[in-house]
Structure formats: C-alpha cells, structure tokens
Amino acid sequence: MPSRRACSAVCASLTALAALVCVTPDAVALNDSAPRGVDSSRLAGRPAGEDAAARQLAALMQKEVDAGVPGVAVRVELGNGRTISLARQAAWTRRDHKLSAHDQFRMGSNTKTMIGVLVLQLVAEHKVSLQDRVEKWLPGLVPGGGNITLKMLLNHTSGLFDYINDPGILARVTGADTSSVTPEELLAVSAQYPPLFTPGAEYAYSNTNYAALGLVLEKATGQDLATLLQRRIIRPLGLHDTYLATSGASRDGDKLADGYEPDAEHLAQLLPPEAPKGTAFAGPARGDHVLVTLLNPEWAWAAGAIVSTPADEQRFLRALAFGRLLPPAQLAEMKTTVVETPGDPDSARYGLGIERYLSPCGPVWGHTGAVPGYSSQNYTDETGKRSVTVVATTLFGMRAEGVGAADRKVVDAAVCTMLGKSLPADAN
C-alpha cells in the first residue's frame, strides 16, 4: 500500500499494466448517499452551483470508467451540512456488487494517518518520545535502529528498505503465497537489504517504517494494534464501519466493495522483464480481470490494513483537524513536513503520517492508499469543515493508458468541489 504518488519500485512496475475494459454509457450504474440508485446531484433543493459540481464529477467519473476502471466512488462533505456522493461502475462488475459511496473499502496507506495519531497520543501522554531510538523499543529488530528515531519512521526519513519490494512479500500481495506473515518477519525481510541512505538525510516512502511503529505501539502500551485503534480512535469517533483487517475475510459481508486486477495473461504481457516469472493475482476470473476482494492484507498491517467507508474516513480526518484527537502541540508536530520530491514546487509534503497535497484549488491534508483492488484518497481542508474521498476499485490498472489521467481529474475536481471552487480550465 504505497502512496499513489510515492509508489514503491515493485508497485511502480506492476501498475504499468493495462486493464482492457470496454463499457458504454448505458453499462454504468450510478449510486450515492441518497437512497440507493438515486442521483444526489438531482435531489430537490440542491443549489445550482452544487448541482453543476455534482454533474461535472459524475461526467468525469464516467470517463474514468470508460477508460478502464472497474468502478469509482466519490463522497464530498461541503461544509454546509450537505454532501455529494456518487458511484459509477462497469456493467460487468454489477454481478458481484452494486457499488455505492456507502460501501466499505480497503483504505491501504490511509492507515498510516491513524498510526501517526496513536503515536502522537502516546507522546502527549509522555509514554514515548519522537526522539526515542527504535533500538530502545525493538532491540535487534531494525539494523541501525540506534540511529533511527520514531520521528524518522513517521515521516519516512529512516532510510529503511521497503519490504514490499521483496519478491517473497510480492507473492503475498498477489495472493500467490497464502502463508501467514508476522510484523517481526516483515522487519526481518527489510533487514536483508542495505539502507537507502543515512537516517534523517532524505525522504523515501517505506512501509517498513509503519510495521516498526505498530510494534512500538504494542510494546509501549501492552495492547494489540487492533485494540488500540478501537479504543483510541474508532470507538470514540463512532466509526462503526472501520476496522483493522487481520485476514482476507470481510467482517461485514457484502458491505465491502469488490476490487479487481488484471488477469494473468494481461499481466504477463505488460510486466517488465525483471519481474518474477509467473506473477499473477489469485482469485476468481472476471473476464480479463481477477476478483481480488478477499486477498489477505496481513502483510499490510500497520502500514495499510484498515477497512473503512468514505464517511468514516472523513469523520476521522475532520476530528483530527478539529483537535479532537490530539493536543495542539502534537497536531502541529504532525503537520511539520518534509518534501517528497525535492526540486518540484508542486510536490506533496509528508508529515507524521499525513500528507499535504497541493491541488489545483489549494492545499489539503490527508493521505492516499493503495492495496490490490483499491486506490483511495482522503482529504480535508485546513479547518476540518470540508472533506473528500475518492476510491477506485483497482490499483494495478491505474497506469493503463488514459486511466491515471482520468483518475487525477476526478480527484482534483472532487477536491475543488470540497473547497467550493471550480476546477481550473488548465487542469480539466
């Protein structure tokens, strides 16, 4: 679950795939936060400006489905008590699930924001320090841990190799290997590789950082990670559709939207030569796709195993921005960022489990998420009064010709709608 803007090398290779889907306008379903099947952009009483924004979003979402995405859902909190919630999907996916913005999704690296909150809560309680060395909490588990601080783990400046780039972990990502893997084993995989740079010298996104943080949280509190999330975030905020997945099974049955990836034939044709031979996704065939909804996300754990809904994710981000989860000092620390792409004036910036994304309509705070079958982005404005979620039901098809660009237009239009602005013409 690398960030969609900070994809690992293996992920970057795999996402060069093409998902060859051909759908026509009448092969698409539209659902939303009104009663299922009702287009919220047409509800009585919606102001003309909001109606136009909803129609623009629906049109852009249709283009994304036409480009090859199996499905896409958008939910926008407008800050005035109203929402725009839309979903579009290819006809062939409706046999599995009728997509809705109410659905649960695997949110991938959006998990990291929750982990960041947990760590900073313990900082505020003087149970850990951001300057604590990893070696203090995880002796012998992280090479060079005496030089790596918890803050470096949080903002991806540790230099630790990302375990997701290991072929053995890739086999678990695709479902080819169904054996169990522990967080300690994930750290051991990373430890087989040399560090990327001296700790603190640079930025490099690595899921290893958050596997380590998950273990630190458990050791510092004596509680397992799922319980910590439940007691400190999920239950206090009433996030009834949010949980840390510990297996591929859906806790709530068909509430979990289905996710898809290209089948073995298309994967084999499009993978780079250095990719492991036989790389393919496990799951039931769906034409030239594979249904990957129930792939085990155990390998993602503290780095990306959260399941949630757009509404729950937005409630969490708004509560964070409002100061309901962290004292002012820790919230300010969380928003202390490093640049992700040096030299790029439009680069996203990474804080302590949260990203600052400079959209065409202004900066927003949140995170991206990516696990097989699901690509997500969740953001809020500076005040926490407005929020937005965009989820597509594929990951490795996102770099197919035209798909990534279509998705970016949906995301930017949704963010601009959240901010009460129109998408600039040069971004359209």
Contact 413, 57 (CB under 8 A): yes
Q: Are 254 and 97 in contact (CB under 8 A)?
A: yes
- Encode 349-366: b = buried (16+ Cβ within 10 Å), e = exposed: bbbbbbbbbebbbeebbb
Phi, psi (rounded to 5 degrees) for 382? -60, -35
Phi, psi of 95 (to 5 degrees): -65, -25
Mapping DSSP to helix (H, G, I), strand (E, B) and coil, where does residue 4 land?
coil
How far is 13 from 131, CA to CA, in rounded Å?
35
Q: Give the residue from 328, 296, 152, 123 showing the smallest Cα distance to 217.
A: 123
Annotated catalytic residues are 109
Q: What is the Cα Rg of the chain in Å? A: 20
Residue whose token pair is 């060859």:
20
Token pair recorded at residue 5: 């803007």
Asked if 63 contacts 404 with a C-beta cutoff of 8 angstroms, the reply is no
H/E element, 262: strand 260-262
Per the rule left: phi > 0, alpha: psi between -120 and 50, beta: everything else, 160 is beta
Angle between helical axes of 310-322 and 111-124 (0-180°, round to 10)? 30
3-state secondary structure of 47: coil
Query: Locate tokens 């996300």: which residue?
Result: 297
Closest CA to 16 of 403, 300, 406, 354: 403
DSSP per-residue string spanning 195-258: -SSSTTSS----HHHHHHHHHHHHHHHSS-HHHHHIIIIIHHHT-TT-EE-SSSS-TTGGGBPP
Beta strands in 314-416 (DSSP E): 338-339, 349-350, 355-359, 362-371, 374-380, 387-392
